[in-house]
Structure 1
Amino acid sequence: MAIMQCTVLVVDDDPHIRELLAFALQKAGLATREAADGEAALADMAERTPDLVILDINMPRMDGIETCRRIRAQGDLPVLFLSSRDDEIDRILGMELGADDYVTKPFSPREVVARVAAILRRVHRRPPPQTPGRFSIGGLSLDAEGWRAKWRGVEAPLTVTEFSIVRTLADAPARVFTRDAIIDRVYGPGFAMTDRTIDSHIRNLRSKFAALGGVDVIETRAGVGYQLGQCQGEAP
């Protein structure tokens, strides 16, 4: 599916923001739908699943955090969080819930469109030729074409971004990736993102694999970054 055939659900209690984002996304060739709160968003998704959800954190009735929890309980639909404040707790909690990216208000509509496009490209692009379709080391196995990761045959419920990160590490198991290198590989060169966001995704990945017994999938190299671990199911 081409990115321009994708549909984005914009969820925010401010009609002006919904209108602003819908206009910018439509100008970029994306179809849009709108919802004013989490309950309305879930009802909309039950009728027609979008390709990505832009989700405000601070909303009445059902906020973005609870809405994201319910979305994640149903699958790995990409989520981009919006917040009216630059609150680190909100950002970390959002990432640990499985959000693919995070933008703080006030924002540039062009930036939001660029981040949406980057997420959708990762969802729909084919694996690069140099990357094998399947990868296996120890208890870890990756299916690049199916976007699935398993630990000893049990699938880990990864988001698109989480899968992209572990696949990046698996592409070069001996290499230590800096946070900037991970951002470049996952999002594209020059993409603006903080180191803390990558750290939150790594923490989430470790938690999901550890729940299945994969306690050594990702190794931290102090002062440098991250690399693929031994994947033997033993604490490093």
Structure 2
Amino acid sequence: MAARVRDLTEVWTALVARPRAQLLVAVPLSLWVLAWVCGQFVEGGAQWSPLDVVRSVTGRFGSPDPDWLAAVSAWLRDPVHRGLLGWFAVAAGLLWAATSARAQAPALLGWFVLMVAGEGLGYSPAFGRAAVAFLGFVTLLAVLSTPNRGRMIVRRVRLLPKDVLRAGVLAAVLSLLVPLLAPGLALARLLRPYLTRPARPDPSRVGVAVPGAIPPPRIEGRGPETTVTSPPHHGRGRAPMSE
């Protein structure tokens, strides 16, 4: 159980470790996606679209429905464009598959592309196609990596089954946690004054063990011996007199 909590903590740390500019885009997109997903279950069974979320927000401030918003919604909901939007959903799944701890921008772009497809197809068809595309791509890589099972990476880049599955699971988790990014950051900021962090050891203090530091090797045996190189001199450079 402790290992699972540690792994989840590492994933969350990787999720929020973004450049500041990307984080400014990720937070509003996370709120938009979260409102769209929750709208499928909260609004009495009504199928909310991503642009319906925008209309709801602007309507609460008393703003009229913009003309461009109605035009975009009508174009995306036209049955003629359903085939194109289906490929948009597939592209969203492939963008999720391209997500890693160091490259999380594809997850954000994947959700945006999925919302474009969801405006015309609906939530369930769009998300289903994206999930199938993601699973199909990872499964294909896992099958192609089967002949390399047990081999060592020496000179060429190869696909290894364990690494493929590990990367696929990490990409799925980082992509699915995007809607929870904004509320998670708010909760972490709220709890920050109440959390107690462990004390950090001071490496300058003698006798304090530093985690991860390798202690110097111990030399067993006799102590250091002194070597006499020249006889001692007394006075002004004179040698001692013998009787």
Q: TM-score scaled to structure 1, two decimals?
A: 0.22
- The structure with more radius of gyration: 2
Structure with the largest fraction of strand: 1
Q: TM-score scaled to structure 2, two decimals?
A: 0.21
Higher RCO by CA contacts (8 Å cutoff, separation 6 or greater):
2
Structure with the largest fraction of helix: 2
